[in-house]
Amino acid sequence: MLSNQDISRYNRQLMLPGFGKSGQEKLKNSRVLVVGAGGLGAPVLQYLAAAGVGKIGIIDHDVVDETNLQRQVIFDEKDIGKSKAEVAARYLTQRNSLISVQPFNQQLTPANVENLFSDFEIVVDCTDNFSSRYLINDACAVMEKVMVYGSIHRFQGQVSIFHLNGQDSPTYRCLFPEPPEPGTVQNCAEAGVLGVLPGLIGAIQANEAIKIITRLGDVLSGKLFMMDALTMESSLLEISRNPNTDSITPATMQEIRNSRYQFACDAPTNVPEITSADLMNRLKNGEKMEFVDVREPDEGPPPNELASRQIPLSELDAQFDDFNPQKTYILFCQVGRRSAWAVHQLKEKYQTGKFLNLKGGIEAWNQKNVE
Amino acid sequence: MTVKTNLFGVLADIAESSAIEVEGVTTTNDLVREVQKKFPSFHRINFVVSVNRRVVSAGENISENDEIALLPPFSGG
């Protein structure tokens, strides 16, 4: 039932044809989980909260960083260093006290996905990595949740709806059955992104979620919406259900829990790392360290004031013997994703040894070096 | 036969163009082979092909005026 406060607050959408009180009641009773409170998550959360979605969950284990502010418009300067999920939840509650918002300051994993998804009907994918995206897709398939997918690359974005009608609907795996090879697809930290683009794509995701809940219009199930913010061209591509993907999609939550969702195309977690500031202090104290650049030979920029040798990640396993586990190694790349894999591999190989990933990569180091 | 092929995401970044002309192809398999020959790093990318705004599986016939696009996965959020 709508309260008088609901009727007054949501007046402008209540008057829409086909929406009315029943549409608002559906929103009030709906439960939407947003995975990733970043560039896409910011507009999705703002519009879902403003429209009166009754319960909103926010999963993000990261903290606000200065480089987020250019596009993640729900955060401000004083939020830097704070939990994204918690800051976002507080922001939404201040904007709309009639709804309930629950932050989950944790990483989505095969172990916690069932528990986190169980209270929600719709999962909005605002993640920036393939491990989470395939995990969301597979869990939505087993748990029969609708997935509102969005993703961006530089000036382009795409949106689709998966699992709308259970097993009859296309899934993310119908489009891309398996995750990409490491290093072939870049995220925003590596490729760059125009701040407005996730704003546009996230707003479309929020619009789709509201249409699904209120059963208004045609939603992007079986269709992939693509747009280019430079040319302002957009297209709608048909996607069919691909039965061949059934054999590679886990059929039960137990299978999901037993599967590995830490793909090589994303950074591994729990890798020992060092910040640029710490590294600078340790160098000043005269500590001896070896530096290894795992980028490809033609990649720039070179590191400021670090004598390093180059071993591209793709050739690392052939050069394992060049490492001496008695020494301390600092591995780096552009932003720290590939070097995280290098550290991960070296730790597995040597079990002991001091292998550290340079946090934020050469971008962070060179910036620190200028200061 | 020459077909105009639109490129998205990282494919357009590599080709430094959002559209290319591909010669001597009559099926999507030919097309994939030719673009991989033209841009060897496409080999490592798991892109899908759309013909006339429909994502297709391998081996579809194509003709000159078809609207073709190659779509790699996007990662950013």
Number of CB pairs, chain A paired with chain B, less than 8 A apart: 103
Half-sphere exposure of A289 (CA within 13 A, CB side): 25
- What is the per-residue pLDDT for A371? 60
Tell me the DSSP string of A198-258. Answer: HHHHHHHHHHHHHHHHHT-S---BTEEEEEETTTTEEEEEE----GGGGGGS-SSHHHHHH
* Dihedral over Cα of A81, A135, A225, A162: its sign: negative
Tokens of A43: 């507009």
Specify the fold of A4-258: Rossmann fold (3.40.50)
- What is the per-residue pLDDT for A301? 86
pLDDT tens digits for range B7-66 = 999 999 889 999 999 999 999 999 999 999 999 889 888 999 999 999 998 889 999 999
A188 is catalytic: yes
Q: Do B75 and A238 touch (CB under 8 A)?
A: no
Whether omega before A268 lies within 30 degrees of 0, making that bond cis, reads no
Give, for all 371 residues of chain A, the pLDDT tens digit.
999 999 999 999 999 999 999 999 999 999 999 999 999 999 999 999 999 999 999 999 999 999 999 999 999 999 999 999 999 999 999 999 999 999 999 999 999 999 999 999 999 999 999 999 999 999 999 999 999 999 999 999 999 999 999 889 999 999 999 998 776 787 777 778 999 999 999 999 999 999 999 999 999 999 999 999 999 999 999 999 998 888 999 999 999 999 988 787 777 777 899 999 999 999 999 999 999 999 877 777 888 888 999 998 878 888 888 899 889 999 999 888 889 989 988 988 888 779 999 998 998 898 877 66
A333 is catalytic: yes
- Asked if the domains at A4-258 and A273-370 fall in one CATH topology, the answer is no
Q: Which amino acid is at A107?
A: Q
The 3-state DSSP class for residue A11 equals: helix
Complex confidence, ipTM? 0.95
Q: Do B55 and A224 touch (CB under 8 A)?
A: yes
**What phi and psi, each to the nearest 5 degrees, are found at residue A256?**
-65, -45
The residue of chain B with its CA nearest to that of A182 is B44
Residue A96 neighbours by CB under 8 Å, 6+ apart: A49, A50, A52
* Dihedral over Cα of A358, A360, A361, A362: its sign: negative
- For A268, which DSSP code? P
- Contact by Cβ (8 Å): A333, A350: no
- What is the per-residue pLDDT for A348? 82
Q: Which residues pair with B48 in a beta bridge?
A: B71
The residue of chain B with its CA nearest to that of A175 is B48
Q: Among A126, A140, A188, A265, which one carries the catalytic annotation?
A: A188
Task: Please report the domains of chain B, with CATH numbers, ordered by start residue.
Answer: 2-71 (3.10.20.30)
Chain B residues with at least one Cβ partner in A under 8 Å: 8-10, 13, 18, 44-46, 48, 50, 53-55, 57, 69, 71-77
- Contact by Cβ (8 Å): A353, A325: yes
Q: Shortest Cα distance from B54 to chain A (angstroms)?
A: 4
Q: Do B71 and A127 touch (CB under 8 A)?
A: no
The residue of chain B with its CA nearest to that of A132 is B75
Q: Do A185 and B73 touch (CB under 8 A)?
A: yes
Q: Is any Cβ of chain B less than 8 angstroms from the Cβ of A41?
A: yes
Tokens of B62: 């194509």
Residue spans of the domains in chain A: they are 4-258, 273-370
Specify the fold of A273-370: Oxidized Rhodanese; domain 1 (3.40.250)
